[in-house]
Structure 1
Amino acid sequence: MTPSIENATSADTSPLVYAPRRHPVQLVIGLVVLAFLIFIGNSLLNNKNMQWNVVIGYLFNPHVLHGVVVTLGLTVLCQILAVIIGTIVAVMRLSGSRVMVPMAVGYLWFFRGTPLLVQLIFWYNIAALFPHLVLGIPFTDYYQVLSTNTLISGFTAAILGFSLHESAYMAEIVRAGILSVSSGQKEAALSTGMTEAQAMSRIILPQAMRVIIPPTGNQGINLLKATSLVAFISGGDLLSNVTDIYSVNFAVIPLLVVASLWYLAIVTIATIGQTYLERAVGKGYGSSTVRKQKGNQPDEFGHAKPVEPEAL
């Protein structure tokens, strides 16, 4: 005879205890990786050829610190210029103009299609193509002839190369952010009497920041590490100054460790800042944190009870 529902419900109603799943394979893999990392770390720490005394001695060397400052300044300046140029190119790409769209596409095609190191070397040697630059005021007799070698230093060439190359990628990031905003937002803004420029700056771009900020932070961190390429044109960055030192004392590995430690420290700080910035920009776009669920205990059949939404 089939038991009745009353008998089923009168059974033990104590909450079920869920045992966590065991993952022995993952545990073994984790222990193997941990043992390997300990072995590598121990071999590096106890290796006399690492010359840790040299690493500590040059970690805060004035020449190294100057390179850190130049690297940070170059990163910030080039990222700002890249965002400005990239935003302009993205707007040109989305304008629908028969003139602006091909120009934007050509810009992206060229600066994304040529290697960054090639662009840096090109700008550094631009004097071979234009030995002199003429600067003047149009429709006047005032002009000044400048030597290109004097005007384009390693630092200036780095600014040109990084800004133009990075702006091509920022243009695609900004374009993706603009496209993520509903077209109805623009139509509503135009219906209130705003111009195209006002609708873009006041309505579209502020909403697109939620999509633009995360990849922009990643591009900024990549740009920070890519500044090490400036060492090829002696731009005075961190790696350039470290290279100057180990070319004299021949302590190549210890000085490269010094540079790596500084890059790791800066990237770590930038990553933490990016995380807080993303949280600030993403407020109001869905739940970013998991709320504590109260009373979510299983019923007598082992099913989770629904949780009432908390009052605002």
Structure 2
Amino acid sequence: MTDADSSSPAAGPAAIDAVPLRHPWRWVAAAVILILGGLFLYGAATNEAFRWATYWEYLFNERVLAVGVVNTLQLTIYSMVLALALGILLAVMRLSPNPVFKAVSWAYLWVFRGTPVYVQLVFWGLLPTIYQNVQLGVPFGPSLLHLDLQSLSFPFLLAIIGLALNEAAYMAEIIRAGITSVPEGQMEASTALGMSWGLAMRRTVLPQAMRVIIPPTGNEVISMLKTTSLVTGVPFALDLYGITSREIASRIFEPVPLLMVAATWYLAITSVLMVGQYYLERYFSRGASRKLTTRQLEALAKAQLGEPHP
């Protein structure tokens, strides 16, 4: 065999001896980061301002756990469930061909996404002052129901309503983006098979849309958990932040360790929510893969070589 024959295309290209590039500065940067992190932890552990003895004393305090953590979880769950239901309704209204539904949904999103959530919570806290009496009945006729809001005390309910109405605006856009990410052909094919609109949404569209909806929804749940610290504007002071920073810290005059207690429990609950989000994403992403199949790789190779694809 001649040299010309050995270099022919039939013999195939010679193996490439690839040598990976070395990145010594990456290791230097990693070492610097570890040293700085260690110095920060040592400084925090030896800093008397953190009052670590007080921190450990109140970390598992019965009132912090039984009242603060429990109320924070209830605010998060109730608000998110209500926001999810209202967000689905608003998303359907945005996708509706009815101009009135679209206008009402757009106005809702404009108001609740355009104003700070703390301002909204303060407004809901002032609701009994703005609407002192509520009467339901026949217009210009007898009154069937009369409520004196000033005589009622329901800050927990007002906090849930304020958080849920604000979150519903964001959930509506997340759900709408998930539904519109599914090709229209999926709905058309389901309709051709005899499915109703509701059945097609439940069996075909929503399972595919969940891959887009779940990740930002998980972020919104985590964000809602932290937003509950703003319910002091209602005012509702029996959440985790209110118990630690306002009740206990104001009594013992040590705000720093109590803020660390609140931060620790927020971080612990957030970690659990992140684990749940991971398994939900993995469940709804079944059957979807970013890797190319063998057939797709063969077709790509033939396209690069200029060969016709069968």
- If the length of structure 2 is used for normalisation, what is the TM-score? 0.84
Distance 1:137 1:48 in 2: 66
Distance 2:54 2:277 in 1: 33
Q: How many residues align?
A: 287
Letter matched to residue 231 of structure 1? T
Distance 2:190 2:178 in 1: 18
- The CA deviation at 1:195 is 3.4
- What is residue 122 of structure 2 aligned with on the other side? 121
- The CA deviation at 1:17 is 6.2
The reply on whether 1:237 has 2:208 as its aligned counterpart is no
- The CA deviation at 1:141 is 6.5
Q: Which moved more, 1:41-50 or 1:18-27?
A: 18-27
The answer on whether the counterparts of 1:155 and 1:235 sit within 8 Å (CA) in structure 2 is no
- What is residue 175 of structure 1 aligned with on the other side? 176
Distance 1:228 1:121 in 2: 13
CA displacement, residues 32-89 of structure 1 (integer Å, 9 cap, x when unaligned):
1211111111011011221111111101112211111111111111111111101110
The answer on whether the counterparts of 2:129 and 2:150 sit within 8 Å (CA) in structure 1 is no
The reply on whether 1:61 has 2:68 as its aligned counterpart is no
Superposition pairs of residues 127-206 of structure 1, within 5 angstroms: 127-134=128-135, 143-151=144-152, 153-206=154-207
- What is residue 252 of structure 1 aligned with on the other side? 255
Residues 152 and 163 of structure 1, relative CA distance in 2, 3 Å threshold:
farther
- The CA deviation at 1:200 is 2.6
Residues 193 and 8 of structure 1, relative CA distance in 2, 3 Å threshold:
closer
Letter matched to residue 53 of structure 1? A
Q: Which moved more, 1:188-197 or 1:106-115?
A: 188-197
Distance 1:54 1:172 in 2: 44
The answer on whether the counterparts of 2:95 and 2:176 sit within 8 Å (CA) in structure 1 is yes
CA displacement, residues 148-186 of structure 1 (integer Å, 9 cap, x when unaligned):
245463212211111011010000000001101111122
2:99 match: secondary structure: coil
Letter matched to residue 236 of structure 2? S
- The CA deviation at 1:16 is 6.7
From 260, 263, 267, the equivalent of 2:266 is 263
CA displacement, residues 96-137 of structure 1 (integer Å, 9 cap, x when unaligned):
112111111111111111110000000011112101223569
- What is residue 301 of structure 1 aligned with on the other side? none
**Share of identical aligned residues, percent?**
42
* Structure 2 runs not aligned, ≥5 long: 294-310
- What is residue 111 of structure 1 aligned with on the other side? 112
The answer on whether the counterparts of 1:181 and 1:208 sit within 8 Å (CA) in structure 2 is yes
- The CA deviation at 1:269 is 1.1
Residues 224 and 15 of structure 1, relative CA distance in 2, 3 Å threshold:
same
- What is residue 52 of structure 1 aligned with on the other side? 52
Letter matched to residue 257 of structure 1? M
Residues 15 and 40 of structure 1, relative CA distance in 2, 3 Å threshold:
same
The reply on whether 1:22 has 2:17 as its aligned counterpart is no
Distance 1:252 1:260 in 2: 12
2:289 match: secondary structure: coil
Distance 1:148 1:198 in 2: 43
Distance 1:194 1:152 in 2: 49
- The CA deviation at 1:18 is 4.6
Letter matched to residue 223 of structure 2? N
1:143 match: secondary structure: strand
1:133 match: secondary structure: strand
Q: Which moved more, 1:202-211 or 1:248-257?
A: 202-211
Residues 4 and 14 of structure 1, relative CA distance in 2, 3 Å threshold:
closer
Residues 258 and 188 of structure 1, relative CA distance in 2, 3 Å threshold:
same
1:99 match: secondary structure: helix
From 274, 277, 286, the equivalent of 2:280 is 277
What is the Cα-based RMSD across aligned positions, in Å? 2.9
Distance 1:202 1:28 in 2: 53
1:144 match: secondary structure: strand
- Greater helix share, structure number: 2
Distance 2:226 2:91 in 1: 25
CA displacement, residues 249-299 of structure 1 (integer Å, 9 cap, x when unaligned):
1110000000000011111111111111101110011258x99xxxxxxxx
- The CA deviation at 1:214 is 0.8
- The CA deviation at 1:190 is 2.5
Superposition pairs of residues 55-94 of structure 1, within 5 angstroms: 55-65=55-65, 66-94=67-95
